[in-house]
Structure 1
Amino acid sequence: MASFILRRLIASIFVLFAATFLMYILVSFAGDPLDDLRQSSAPNKAELIQARTKLLNLDVPPPLRYFLWLGGIFRGNFGVSIQNQPVNALLANAITSTLTLVTTATVLAILLGLTVGIVSALRQYSGFDYSVTLMAFLFFSLPIFWVAVLLKQYGAIQLNNWLNEPTIAIPVIIVMSLIAGLIWMSLIGGRWQRKLIVFGVAAVATGAVLAFLSVTQWFADPSIGIAVYAVLAIGIAFGITAISTGLRNRKALYASLIVAVIGIALYYPMMNSLLNGMTLWLFLLFAVLTLIVSGAIGWFMGAPDRGPVVRTTMIVGFLTAGLIALDKYMSYWQAYANSSRVRGRPIATVGASTPGLGGNFWVQGIDLFTHLLLPTIAIILISFASYTRYSRASLLEVMNQDYIRTARAKGLTQRTVIVRHAFRNALIPITTVIAFDVGALIGGAVITETVFGWVGMGRLFVNGLAASDPNPVMAFFVVTGTLAVLFNLIADLVYAGLDPRIKVG
């Protein structure tokens, strides 16, 4: 393993050297960094041209200038832009902005895409499968700039207008209830009598919840509350256990329920005192402690097969703690929406933050969420389609393999066959797609960043090309090239972890 990684890294270094040299030469001949000064009518034009020539070493031939630039890279210096701004500072701001946007969107797109694709494969040729296929092809074919503009209009402007008086019209409640009933009916499957019962129960339940939210104007001042939190925590314990180990594993179920009960017991102390005065590092500390305590409960109750129980309790602990954090965020929603900077328009359309907002950790978190909401949805809608189709096709192919039939012949449950055998092997081709997508997305979602006013890696690259500014362009290329090589190496290692037939060596 170590020798394989070392060989790949050495080969990658030579590839990066060759790629950066070629890119530097192309950028150097693609435009003239002095073009704006040559067309200037300033009286000191000659002095400005001489200063920029000296600043960017433009009097040195491009092949030799590359090695001057490379020497700066070895010292951790990407040089300066044509405006004499340090590229390191520009790159740091761009990476922070892009990672904030892309990480959230990519993780959610992968989770949603894999989940919906797997369910679609398990419900092959059902109404749900046909609906998901239609939506996937629709989202995949939509131009992202058009999606972004529609989100601005209906996801921000119209939604902000509605939030001033958040009541849901009766026709909307009826339509949404029918849609929810159809979704649950296609998911559950079975005979028509069972489908009709599921449809009726889901439609009535959805209508009742929406009517309650409309009457109480819940969206103006949202909250979860202890009663709903308790139901959700217990439901998470049962649901995660059913997926992870199966409800027959009583040790995992009891350990998960203990974690949920601890979360319920800590609800009021956390909401009323422990989460006040929160900082980012304290928030991360609480998250780590949650995982440690949840894992410890699984460890003590899971003997002799502790691994699956620990995994289950840690997931349950993370989700139940996340619900408390979400409720704490909700408690500050009204204060945020009515602040003087937001002025009742909480869903943002431009930028990564509200200038001069101030506020505590929770208010700043809501502000980040409202600015991330629309660009994240835009990226998810496009990425979600490909992940859904790849995961569906991959799982369907795996389900027809001989070892799956052997597993079923041994008497294993459907959950065990899917989760432990089929799903793991179905992830192998999807890993390749994810590795390429993550490397590309970190390079910047150029159109999304432009429409929503995010100054990220994509904008840094485009602005550098437009101004014939070589150093920002090369900084972008070094970062994205390195990440592409790194994620492909990680994908190779993940292959070996997913499939024991693959040997890394």
Structure 2
Amino acid sequence: MLTYILKRLGSTIIVLFGASVLVFFMVVHSGDPLSDLRESNDPDAAHQMEQRTQAMNLDQPWYIRYWWWFRGVAGCVTLSCDFGTNRDGQHLNSILANAAQDSLRLVFIATIASIVLGILIGIISAIRQYSLFDYTVSFIVFVFFSLPIFWAAVLGKEWLAIRYNNWMADGSYSWGQMLGISVVLAIALPLIIGGEPLRRVITAGMTFVASVGALWYFDASNFAHEPRLGAVGIIVLSLGLAVGLTALLAGLGNRRVLYTALTVSGLGIVSYYATWELLAEPAGGWFLLLGLFLLTIAICLVLARTMGGYAKGQATAVAVITGMLTSGLILLDHFMYHWPSLLSLKSRPVSTIGSHTRRFTEDDVTFWQVSLDQLTQLWIPTMLLMIVSLATYTRYTRASMLEVARQDYIRTARAKGANERTVVFKHAFRNALIPLATIVAFDFAGLIGGTVIVESIFNWNGMGGVFITGLRNVDPAPVMGFVMITGFVAVIFNFIADIMYAVLDPRIRV
């Protein structure tokens, strides 16, 4: 394994080096960086041309310019990167750091959301093959996949930003809206769950009543302006996750797994109270939240290995997922708690341009207000990128699950009396993930390219803006910064995908 990893790292370096040489050569020869000054009537144009020539080293051959750029980037090995300056003399390190933060945050969230939703929908479609749900999902995901992203962005701005902000001025539901939403849910949920006609009718009726009741409560409690989960919500949802995940992954008859999950849930409820003051204004920001999240996973692993007994594997999966989702609920409650304070500063919370509100400064706003502002700016672009990838994960998961379901070992597992849950999740799903490992790597690289369009539409100062500005100005330094950062991340994801093959299938020897 170590030899294989070293070989892959070596090939990664070679790929990045070859790409950098090719892209630098193409950018340098794509136009004239002095064209705007040659056409200028400014009396000082000649002096400005001389300054730009010296700043960009235009009097040197392209390979000399590349070598000077490469020496700066090679410093990344010792954590002293120097991506040079753009044609205006601005150092690119800080510009690329801010741009990469916005772009990669967008791509990572879109990738994770599309993977989770796509795999879940794909599994259900495979289990319910040729059902009405299967046909409906196939139609919807391909419609999403076919949407021109610039047109979908216009619709997103209109309905998810402008009209949502208009609705937030009042934040109440009319009876027509309550009944309409409830009818849609009453139709959709039975299609997902399936079952006999009587069961579907009962499910639809219960869904309709529960939906109307929930929307009425949200309207009466002014939930749009003052949302909260609260201690009761955390307790109910956390215990529900523990029981539901145990039933799904191990079965409620497996008491060791159930007790482990309930213990994790109980510790999560205790941590909700224990960390309230600590998270009121996190001193370390997202680093503190990340540290607490990793600590949660570590505690869940220890509990699962200690209490799991003969079912350590299932206990580990249930405990970790329960702990992660409970942590997510606690984080969500803190965001809800600070939502009114964001509205006091920004009555129309979702803007149609920019990755954040520029007038927010660290002096007069809190961590939660800044984070909420960034999240409200993030969700429409994230949704656009997500729906493009959703069809890929859904169809590949469905096809892979159906192919695995025809294998002999699946029939053998059923013949031995294994229940359907064990067959689907333990035997079929793990093997179905093998081809998906490669899809994730390629899709991530594709999403990075897609951010160039999305960032242009929403006027984000991300990597896409840096790339387009560099091309327009025939300035290789910004373009090379984009290629190196996004190329490195894309190649690393392909490297991780290769390693995942050996993890998912022990028969593969790298």
TM-score by length of 2: 0.93
Check whether the contact 1:136–1:385 (CA below 8 A) recurs between aligned residues.
Answer: yes
Check whether the contact 1:443–1:457 (CA below 8 A) recurs between aligned residues.
Answer: no
Q: Which amino acid in the other structure matches residue 483 of structure 1?
A: V
Moved more, 244-253 or 292-301: 292-301
Counterpart for residue 350 of structure 1: 353
Shift of 1:448: 1.1
Check whether the contact 2:281–2:368 (CA below 8 A) recurs between aligned residues.
Answer: no
Shift of 1:95: 0.7
Counterpart for residue 398 of structure 1: 404
Q: Which amino acid in the other structure matches residue 132 of structure 1?
A: V
Aligned counterparts of 1:40 and 1:20: Cα–Cα separation in 2 = 33
Seen in structure 2, the aligned counterparts of structure 1 residues 5 and 275 have a Cα distance that, compared at 3 Å, is: closer
Identity among equivalent positions (%) equals: 44
Check whether the contact 1:460–1:472 (CA below 8 A) recurs between aligned residues.
Answer: yes
3-state secondary structure, aligned to 1:30:
coil
3-state secondary structure, aligned to 1:218:
coil
Counterpart for residue 459 of structure 2: 453
- String of CA shifts for 1:59-101, please: whole Å, max 9, x gaps: 1222343233323322332221111111222221211111121
2:155 maps to 1:183: no
Check whether the contact 1:443–1:476 (CA below 8 A) recurs between aligned residues.
Answer: no
Counterpart for residue 240 of structure 1: 245
Shift of 1:465: 0.7
2:16 maps to 1:12: no
Check whether the contact 2:117–2:390 (CA below 8 A) recurs between aligned residues.
Answer: yes
Check whether the contact 2:256–2:311 (CA below 8 A) recurs between aligned residues.
Answer: no
TM-score by length of 1: 0.94
| Aligned equivalent of 1:207, options 212, 232, 241 | 212
2:417 maps to 1:411: yes
Shift of 1:334: 1.1
Aligned counterparts of 2:489 and 2:270: Cα–Cα separation in 1 = 44
Check whether the contact 1:98–1:444 (CA below 8 A) recurs between aligned residues.
Answer: no
| Aligned equivalent of 1:252, options 250, 257, 264 | 257
Shift of 1:269: 4.6
| Aligned equivalent of 1:312, options 290, 295, 318 | 318
Q: How many residues align?
A: 500
3-state secondary structure, aligned to 1:445:
helix
Shift of 1:37: 1.7
Shift of 1:238: 1.1
3-state secondary structure, aligned to 2:32:
coil
Shift of 1:441: 2.6
Seen in structure 2, the aligned counterparts of structure 1 residues 226 and 72 have a Cα distance that, compared at 3 Å, is: closer
Gaps of 5+ in 1: none
- String of CA shifts for 1:317-376, please: whole Å, max 9, x gaps: 22122212211211111121122xx1x111222212222333222222211211112111
Check whether the contact 1:404–1:421 (CA below 8 A) recurs between aligned residues.
Answer: yes
3-state secondary structure, aligned to 2:209:
helix
Counterpart for residue 80 of structure 1: 85
Shift of 1:248: 2.4
Aligned counterparts of 1:227 and 1:139: Cα–Cα separation in 2 = 37
2:67 maps to 1:67: yes
Counterpart for residue 200 of structure 2: 195
Aligned counterparts of 2:331 and 2:50: Cα–Cα separation in 1 = 57
3-state secondary structure, aligned to 1:293:
helix
Moved more, 190-199 or 154-163: 190-199
1:360-375 mapped onto 2 (5 Å cutoff): 360-375=366-381
2:154 maps to 1:154: no
2:116 maps to 1:111: yes
2:170 maps to 1:134: no
Aligned counterparts of 1:446 and 1:246: Cα–Cα separation in 2 = 46
Aligned alpha-carbon RMSD (Å): 1.9
Shift of 1:107: 0.9
Aligned counterparts of 2:332 and 2:370: Cα–Cα separation in 1 = 14
Check whether the contact 1:444–1:456 (CA below 8 A) recurs between aligned residues.
Answer: no
1:163-182 mapped onto 2 (5 Å cutoff): 163-182=168-187
Aligned counterparts of 2:337 and 2:421: Cα–Cα separation in 1 = 38
3-state secondary structure, aligned to 1:219:
coil
Gaps of 5+ in 2: 76-80
| Aligned equivalent of 1:499, options 494, 499, 505 | 505
Aligned counterparts of 1:395 and 1:436: Cα–Cα separation in 2 = 20
Counterpart for residue 298 of structure 2: 292
- String of CA shifts for 1:437-496, please: whole Å, max 9, x gaps: 212333560121112121111111111111111111122122233333222222111112
Counterpart for residue 280 of structure 2: 276
Q: Which amino acid in the other structure matches residue 487 of structure 1?
A: F
Seen in structure 2, the aligned counterparts of structure 1 residues 295 and 492 have a Cα distance that, compared at 3 Å, is: closer
Counterpart for residue 52 of structure 1: 52
